[in-house]
Amino acid sequence: MNDIFKTISRVLLRTVVIAVSMPAALSIEDAVAQSICSDINILIEEAPRDFSGIIVEPSRGSGGYGVTFELEGASDCTVRQLLKGKSYYCTWEFRHRDAEAYMTYKALGQDLQSCIGDRAVLSDDQNVNHPDFYESRMFLLDQAKVSVSVKDKSALGSTFIFVSVEPLTGT
> Over its length of 171 residues, how does the chain's per-residue pLDDT go in tens digits?
545 444 444 444 444 444 444 443 334 344 445 678 999 999 999 999 999 999 987 665 667 899 999 999 999 999 998 888 899 999 999 999 999 999 999 999 999 999 998 888 877 666 655 657 889 999 999 999 999 999 999 889 999 999 999 998 754
Is residue 22 within 8 A of residue 32, CB to CB? The reply is no
pLDDT value of residue 124 = 66
Q: State the angle between helix axes of 99-116 and 28-46 in degrees (0 to 180), rounded to the nearest 10.
A: 70
Task: Name which of 141, 134, 130, 139 is nearest 161 in CA terms.
Answer: 134
Give the whole-angstrom CA distance, residue 28 versus residue 33. 9
Give phi and psi for 163, each to the nearest 5.
-120, 130
Total domain count for the chain? 1
Give the whole-angstrom CA distance, residue 113 versus residue 130. 27
pLDDT value of residue 58 = 66
Q: What is the domain extent for residue 23? A: 2-167
